[in-house]
């Protein structure tokens, strides 16, 4: 499964990298911009700032984090795709969202598979299934049984139609074979109060936004949509352990550059990024936010992207979700 692949990438020996050619030794000669295509404060922004700080030390040049939000990440991603391929503008990509966008949006102006050069996987977040405490369920099986007993009565929320967590909810609905209603919100902060009060039945979302509420009993966590249990919530089963194999969905981060960026620059960035991702202090810092670090080769990153596009396209097709303008 996808998580096994990420776990394998982190132990790939740096010695297998293609040697850096002499012509690339002058890079970088000035600060490098790392574009985050979402607003400050989220998981993707957190990863960019933490990794960028350490990468700057290894490169000997500042890494300037620049947020370019809009159109669920498409504006910033397209900006990088159309930037000069010189290594001075790179992207901290949310691969899962970008892979969905290939199918969900028409006329994007770029294709993540064609117009961006993968540098390395960075890691992934943790997706948790949370339910309102007003529901008398304490397991995934009980939630599914309740939904089947009351078709069309339960609902789930996400932070935007066509987004990663909307599609994760659709994947859960399809796999469980239940009839539930989707309710879109503009952001997680907007629907958490409704989840607590019972106006929303459940959600699948990034774990950091719910930790305080889970520990205070204001929402109930049932499982993680991962291959293995989360160190933050080790008592929670995976979906497979809970009897619903196939529901693995987690926000995956990667570093990318414009297409045609010289291979020597990509190789250098890959080498230094993977070294940063092995630093214990950085790993511990991000693990406290449910983010597991793991590097890869550019080729493995590209293969993951191609697989993710196909996977989410099928979820959208089965859900009857129609493409929209970005």
Per-residue pLDDT of 255-290, as tens digits, reads: 999 999 999 999 999 999 999 999 999 999 999 888
Residue 164 lies in a domain: yes
Question: What is the pLDDT at residue 20?
Answer: 42
CATH number of the domain at 192, please.
3.40.190.10
Q: Which domain holds residue 204?
A: 127-224
- Locate 232 and state its tokens: 């933050």
Whole-angstrom Cα distance, residue 147 to residue 179? 7
| Cα separation values, 19 from 24, 268, 282, 298, Å | 11, 9, 26, 14
> Band of the pLDDT at 13, cuts 50, 70, 90?
very low
> Band of the pLDDT at 159, cuts 50, 70, 90?
confident
304 Cβ contact list (under 8 Å, min separation 6): 2, 5, 95, 121, 252, 254, 296
Give the three-state DSSP class for 61.
coil
Q: Is residue 120 located within the same domain as residue 260?
A: yes
> Band of the pLDDT at 25, cuts 50, 70, 90?
low
Region 78-103 average pLDDT: 94
Question: What is the pLDDT at residue 161?
Answer: 85
Q: Is residue 219 located within the same domain as residue 259?
A: no
Region 180-198 average pLDDT: 92
Better-predicted residue by pLDDT, 260 or 22: 260
pLDDT tens-place string over residues 208-262: 889 999 999 999 999 999 989 999 999 999 999 999 999 999 889 999 999 999 9
Residue 273 lies in a domain: yes
Question: Shortest CA distance to 119 belongs to which of 14, 273, 309?
Answer: 273
Whole-angstrom Cα distance, residue 203 to residue 27? 45
Residue 230 lies in a domain: no
Question: Beta partners for 118?
Answer: 256
Q: Does the predicted TM-score (pTM) go above 0.75?
A: yes
CATH number of the domain at 302, please.
3.40.190.150
Res 43 pLDDT > 80:
yes
Residue 229 lies in a domain: no
Q: Is residue 102 located within the same domain as residue 33?
A: yes
Number of structural domains found in the chain? 2
Residue 215 lies in a domain: yes
Percent of the chain, pLDDT > 90? 73
- Tell me whether strands 202-206 and 127-131 are parallel, antiparallel or unpaired: antiparallel
> Band of the pLDDT at 326, cuts 50, 70, 90?
low
Question: What is the pLDDT at residue 22?
Answer: 40
Res 17 pLDDT > 60:
no
Q: Is residue 108 located within the same domain as residue 157?
A: no
Other Cβ atoms closer than 10 A to 278: 14
Question: What is the pLDDT at residue 300?
Answer: 97
Question: What is the pLDDT at residue 284?
Answer: 95
Q: Is residue 98 located within the same domain as residue 147?
A: no
Residue 242 lies in a domain: no
């Amino acid at each position: 499964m996808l998580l096994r692949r990420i776990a394998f990438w982190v132990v790939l020996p740096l010695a297998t990298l293609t040697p850096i050619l002499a012509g690339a030794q002058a890079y970088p000669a000035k600060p490098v911009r790392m574009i985050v295509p979402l607003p400050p404060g989220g998981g993707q922004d957190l990863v960019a700032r933490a990794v960028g700080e350490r990468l700057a030390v290894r490169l000997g040049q500042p890494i300037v984090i620049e947020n370019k939000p809009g159109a669920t990440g498409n504006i910033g991603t397209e900006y990088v795709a159309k930037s000069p391929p010189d290594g001075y503008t790179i992207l901290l990509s949310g691969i899962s969202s970008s892979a969905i966008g290939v199918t969900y949006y028409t006329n994007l102006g770029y294709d993540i598979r064609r117009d961006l050069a993968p540098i390395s996987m960075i890691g992934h977040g943790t997706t948790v299934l949370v339910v309102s405490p007003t529901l008398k369920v304490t397991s995934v099986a009980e939630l599914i049984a309740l939904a089947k007993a009351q078709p069309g009565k339960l609902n789930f929320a996400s932070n935007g139609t066509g987004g990663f967590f909307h599609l994760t909810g659709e994947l859960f609905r399809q796999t469980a074979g239940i009839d539930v209603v989707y309710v879109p919100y503009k952001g997680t902060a907007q629907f958490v109060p409704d989840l607590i009060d019972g106006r929303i039945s459940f959600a699948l979302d990034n774990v950091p936004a719910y930790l305080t509420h889970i520990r205070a009993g204001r929402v109930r966590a049932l499982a993680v949509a991962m291959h293995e249990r989360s160190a933050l919530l080790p008592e929670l089963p995976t979906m497979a352990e809970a009897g619903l194999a196939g529901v693995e969905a987690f926000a995956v981060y990667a570093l990318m550059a414009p297409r045609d960026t010289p291979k020597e620059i990509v190789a250098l960035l890959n080498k230094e990024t993977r070294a940063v991702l092995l630093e214990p202090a950085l790993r511990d810092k991000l693990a406290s936010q449910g983010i597991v670090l793991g590097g890869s080769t550019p080729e493995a990153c590209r293969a993951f992207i191609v697989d993710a596009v196909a996977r989410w396209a099928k979820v959208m097709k089965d859900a009857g979700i129609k493409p929209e303008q970005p």
